[in-house]
Amino acid sequence: MASVNDGSQSQAEIRWSETEPGHVTARISGELDIVSVERLQGPFDDLLAGGPTRIDLDLCGLAFMDSSGLALLLRVANQLGPLRVYGASVLIQRVIEATGLTGILLVQDAAP
């Protein structure tokens, strides 16, 4: 788990658990923006170093995501292939759809 909270409005947290061998669910909450992405890159690198074969993203606690957050998720997808995304707010779903990334960030209606 990594948590970013420097006293400003921008904060983010990532927690992950291995639900079965090689399959990780990462829960991202808070605001995934230019400030928090810089600090979460290391924890994401640690997660990827564990050698998962699949990562699902639980975004039910994510209140905001800017282009920096989207870029971080795409870097993860570039290493593993398409990522299942669930729990995303309508706003975050629209961002994924508007950017044409629905083939890489696979928005699901419910958690697996």
Specify the DSSP element, H or E, that contains 72: helix 67-80
In this predicted structure, the answer to whether residue 1 has a pLDDT above a threshold of 60 is no
Q: Would the pTM of this model clear 0.75, i.e. be above it?
A: yes
Strand ordering across the sheet containing 2-5: 2-5, 11-20, 23-32, 54-65, 83-86, 105-108
The neighbour count for residue 34, using CB atoms within 10 Å, is 13
Q: Please give the mean pLDDT across all residues of the chain.
A: 89
Identify the CATH number of the domain defined by range 2-108: 3.30.750.24
In degrees, to the nearest 5, what angle opens at C-alpha 68 toward C-alphas 67 and 70? 60
**pLDDT tens digit string along 13-66?**
999 999 899 999 999 999 999 999 988 999 999 999 999 999 999 999 999 999
